[in-house]
Each structure stands twice: as C-alpha cells, then as structure tokens.
C-alpha cells in the first residue's frame, strides 16, 4: 500500500512520550508533552526534542532563557494526566492535573516526580531546519535517573513507558527481543 508522503511520519512510530519541563520566568514549572525526543550524538551525549512550530512555545522560550530542560518519560500510570498538559497552562498546571515536581540533581529546572525516567539537560543549541516546520532543542545530558534497570539497560516494560503512534493512539513498550549484533 502506498502512503502519502505527509503521512509517512506515522511509519516512524511509535515514539517515546515525554513531558519536557522547564522553568517559567516566575520560577514555576512549565511542562508539556512531546513525542519527538531522540538521541542526537554519542560524544558528547546530546538529545533533541522537536519542540514546536512557527509559534514559539513556552518550552522553547524557557529552555533558551534558562539554558536547561528536563526530559521526563511518561508511563501508563500517569499518561492521561500528562497529556492533559497540552491544554493546561499557568503557574499551577501540575497541581491542576494531579502531578508534582521534584528537584533535579544537576540543574535548577525541576523534573516530574511521577516520571520513572528523567534526563537533565543543559541546552546546547536551538536548531531551526531550513525547510522544516519544527525547531529542535538540543541538550547535553548532565544527569539521568531511572527507577528500574536490567543491568546497564532500562527496564522499559516494567515501567510501562508510553509511546505515541499518532493522534489519540498510544502504546506501552512490550516484549523484549534480543538480537545478536555484529559490532
């Protein structure tokens, strides 16, 4: 089946769901859900967040002003609360949806207490792709927290981390498959 080029983005799914937390000018936490979150470089370890379109969002403004942000993975147990943050704004947005903030270890921007994986980042740069409609916040990882590990790897199944397929469809990470690599 052929797919329209614009709809091909759904073939690059599912994608990790995360709340990106930043610090508002008044010191309160801003948190918004995003699913364009991915590794960008190994050395130094950089991550990128597709943080919006032509209209500059608070996430971008805050990250650029404070030079930092936190990637907070969303899990099944608070997924609906996290997604509600798309439409909730203001100084008490976390309280309004029933979530809470937690101090970060290496930066002043707070993370989301309910998140089982938190990645603290210092903003490296903001990228605007010439012909694209999104800007990307590129951050250097300065600290990370993971609630459940299997050796050196996160136990994503046990934490029920959500992935976004498209629209209102989400998935939780399922069966682990081990494949031999030639590296």
The three-class DSSP label of residue 181 is: coil
| pTM over the 0.85 mark | yes
Residue 91: pLDDT over 90: no
Distance CA 150, CA 133 (A): 38
Domains of the chain: 5-172 (2.30.110.10)
pLDDT one-digit tens code per residue, 52-67? 776 788 999 999 999 9
Please give the pLDDT value at position 72: 98
pLDDT one-digit tens code per residue, 26-49? 999 999 999 999 999 999 999 999
Please give the pLDDT value at position 14: 84
Q: Confidence band (pLDDT; 50, 70, 90) for 6?
A: confident
Nearest to 19 by CA among 153, 128, 109, 123: 109
pLDDT one-digit tens code per residue, 97-149? 999 999 999 999 999 999 999 999 999 999 988 888 889 999 999 999 999 99
Distance CA 103, CA 131 (A): 38
In 103-117, which positions are buried (b, 16+ CB within 10 angstroms) versus exposed (e)? ebeebebbbbebbbb
Please give the pLDDT value at position 96: 94
Residue 2: pLDDT over 80: yes
58: left (phi over 0), alpha (psi -120 to 50) or beta: alpha
């Amino acid at each position: 089946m052929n797919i329209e080029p614009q709809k091909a983005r759904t073939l690059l799914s599912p994608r990790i769901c995360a709340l990106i937390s930043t610090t508002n000018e008044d010191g309160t936490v801003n948190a918004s859900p995003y699913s364009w979150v991915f590794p960008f470089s190994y050395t130094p370890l950089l991550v990128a967040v597709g943080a919006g379109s032509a209209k500059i969002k608070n996430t971008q403004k805050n990250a650029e002003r404070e030079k930092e942000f936190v990637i907070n993975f969303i899990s099944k147990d608070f997924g609906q609360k996290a997604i509600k943050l798309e439409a909730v704004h203001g100084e008490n947005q976390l309280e309004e949806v029933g979530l809470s903030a937690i101090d970060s270890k290496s930066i002043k921007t707070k993370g989301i207490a309910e998140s089982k994986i938190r990645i603290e980042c210092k903003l490296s740069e903001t990228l605007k792709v010439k012909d694209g409609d999104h800007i990307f916040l590129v951050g250097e990882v300065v600290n990370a927290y993971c609630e459940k590990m299997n050796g050196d790897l996160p136990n994503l199944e046990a934490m029920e981390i959500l992935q976004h397929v498209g629209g209102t469809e989400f998935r939780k990470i399922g069966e682990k498959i081990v494949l031999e690599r030639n590296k």
